[in-house]
Structure 1
């Protein structure tokens, strides 16, 4: 197919189609509306079904219905709409149904604005809805990485029978970059014995529900879910490191903020500051390993976010008191600049060492 120039939201949609997704239920909300529009045009071309629901609440419940039949299904939204999906997401987890849910984050709280933000970090990594649960969360930093992580999201969803969140900010959804799509031979389209496929001679009736009125039975179900989450934490951690081997200071950032931070690191290194980057790609499970490997010799960590400071809690837990953890962030849809992050590096490190 070769490289094509596409907008981020459209890349997500096309990558989902390449991953075998033929069912999409959603509702337009800026800055992810292009994703919905692309699916409306694209899915009929591959024999799929697009349906614009009357609300985000309706959309996530339609996802529940489609997921229970074993098909690959997706929905997407942006922050306020994603909030409306939380009850349905909890139902998906409780019923152990695979689906991919995309959140292109905008400034908040409330209606906020349509500018990029990362302030949904707590919502996606700490459960968001009711009950004891976690969801795998993947945070790409480039449009080519979107292609890869969208495929991964569907595979992880099927592997563990769980919803998976793909999270980016409004900048990632709206930017344009050249990308290349290729068919992956390892797409996990396994037979789903649990799916409700009607009277097709595949056994007796199957009931998919998150309802369990007996307390001890519900506790057993919760224990099984926690064991699943433990397996995900063991097997699905993703991260990237940059110049951490000799780093005395480490910046921590994800998504497009990590790209800006990397440029600031390059400038600081030219000026003699030994600084590196840890970029979480899976926001949950959070990558603790690179912190454990560096925290004995690093003088300080700095969490850089487009929020008031949400990921910093996970950074502090991973560092576990071995070094100070500082923070730099912008909120309300303001994107931190390379110069601002560079100045933060210089402040934390005590100045240029040349």
Structure 2
């Protein structure tokens, strides 16, 4: 089994030992740094060995935010998930960390179950990203010759493979591959297999999620269902339309990262795909159709930025019902746990 190594950066020996005590028994290898200078020395020398970084915000000398900035500026390190540790009442610190690219927040004192689940989720996501990079490096980019096509798939494994294949040769191919895979897997798990968010939370915590997916794929009526991926591209853009056979869902709740899901080990996929992978992302119908667009030409389409698409009438049956539901959702940034009112109001303006 591959080694999963986490760098713990904290100027308090008690905190470092606590994190080691929680993580080592379940298989993580831990390196420690007592301040930012020591952490950066380790990262500069062998940063590629780390699968996640647990970073304290407040340290003497080089603080956590300075270390974070250095990580994000380094092409070899910028994708390593950073989990920032701080006190929940540090309002400015929370906002600054999120804006700087923190993946998760952990508050002190630690909740052991939350700590373990967040670190495991972060390292699993990073392992998946590295697999995508490896697969993309093997591809010839011949998929760029495709002008129009249709693909059918049933399983998460097929979703990962198709995402990599279709992203090969595109701008920011790793982000696009991850984004397409997230959308396809969502269509399989929550669309065709009709497994809801709460079920995934419980089954993941129990280590049963993959088992249930495999079993459900063979049950009636799910085994006959497919997800369809339609691809259309020209000189300016590539458009991916994903359709599942499920009942649909309230997609608005998942278009942005929210504080309510900050401690969850899942639920970020659609929001991160929207932010990092696509020029636009929009759901249609009852939520069982999603259209993702990748810009290929700056002249023909807005530069790839993950910005919200302009609201368009008729994108969902819920939007047609009127009220306030047809308005684009306000962006919300993820933080861990309950948030003071002053913080929440500022986050909504980020």
Q: TM-score, with normalisation over the residues of structure 1?
A: 0.39
Give the TM-score taking structure 2 as reference length: 0.39
RCO comparison, higher one (Cα < 8 Å, 6+): 1
More helix by share: 2
